[in-house]
A and B are shown apart, each in its own frame.
Chain A
Amino acid sequence: MSSIKLKAKVEGDTVEVKALITHPMETGQRKDKKTGELVPAHWIKEIIVSAGDKTVMTANWGASVSKNPYLAFNYKGKAGDKIKLSWTDSKGEKDSAEADAA
């Protein structure tokens, strides 16, 4: 199952992109309650959102973005735009999702 829930809603001449990503976003500063050891850092470093062949948003994140992160923004677009979101995390893991603006 994809780690990403992606929605793109058209309002007039703008498209509102909303994304929810399932990810632990570990800072590397939190201790495991049972073992007392630090939980290794593991967070999403980069998110790229494109509409068709244009990149509309690049987000560089640190570990202080919340667990299961949320991202929303608007861009000038139209219904039917092919939205693609992809992320890369600090361990090099990746995922992506696509949605049509509607």
Chain B
Amino acid sequence: MKRRTFLQGTLAAGVAGLAVSAGLLTPRMVMAEGGGAFDAKTLDDALKAMALTPEESKDITIKAPEIAENGAVVPVEITTTIADAKEISILVENNPTPLAATFILGEGATAGASTRIKMGKTSNVVALVKAGDKAYSAKQEVKVTIGGCGG
């Protein structure tokens, strides 16, 4: 909870605060905890917390519906042909906390994962692939007719 309050504080403090928070959240902390990036409130902050600056790639495939009738259950499958892919993350740009999931590929795992996510409203779904010391991304818009974050 402390970190969450801290993050909100720095968000309010503006750009200078953001730079500080990004500096404080080292990649190692993110790897160990998974907490910092998962608490980030915007796509940019999540990327900063993960210490990634991805470049767009055509070698990532996002399988998600163009229109999701029920935002509470949106099936998403990410696959990639990028060599040495180590991590696959799913982010939803317009969700209150964009980072939904990170899959760390173990020994022998094929570069892909599928799951189901919640989406509050129509948004880009961003797939992030970490390979070596580089990161790649792709995105697809999913239109949501009934949001999945209401009561």
The A interface, classified by DSSP as helix, strand, loop or mixed, is strand
**A29 at interface, CB cutoff 8 A:** yes
Contact B148 A62 (CB under 8 A): no
**A55 at interface, CB cutoff 8 A:** yes
Q: Which of B104, B108, B149 contacts A58 (CB 8 A)?
A: B104
Q: Mark B107-148, 1 if CB is under 8 A from A, else 0.
A: 111101111111100000000000000000000000000001
Contact A66 B95 (CB under 8 A): no
A71: chain B residues at CB < 8 Å are 113-115
Contact A66 B106 (CB under 8 A): no
B100: chain A residues at CB < 8 Å are 61-62, 64-65
Contact B110 A66 (CB under 8 A): no
Q: What is the size, in residues, of chain A's interface with B at 8 Å between Cβ atoms?
A: 36
**B14 at interface, CB cutoff 8 A:** no
**Complex: A55 Cα to B150 Cα, angstroms:** 36
Contact B150 A57 (CB under 8 A): no
Contact A54 B107 (CB under 8 A): yes
A49: chain B residues at CB < 8 Å are 106
B150: chain A residues at CB < 8 Å are 30
Contact B108 A56 (CB under 8 A): yes
Least CB separation from B35: chain A residue: A45
Going nearest first, the 4 A-B pairs with the smallest beta carbon separation are A60-B34, A74-B110, A76-B108, A66-B116
Contact B97 A63 (CB under 8 A): yes
Q: Which of B99, B110, B118 contacts A76 (CB 8 A)?
A: B110
Least CB separation from B100: chain A residue: A64
Some 30 contacts from A to B, beta carbons below 8 A apart, are A29-B149, A30-B149, A55-B107, A56-B107, A57-B104, A57-B105, A57-B113, A58-B103, A59-B101, A59-B103, A59-B104, A60-B38, A61-B100, A62-B38, A62-B99, A62-B101, A64-B92, A64-B118, A65-B100, A65-B117, A66-B116, A66-B118, A67-B72, A67-B73, A69-B115, A70-B116, A72-B113, A73-B113, A76-B108, A77-B108
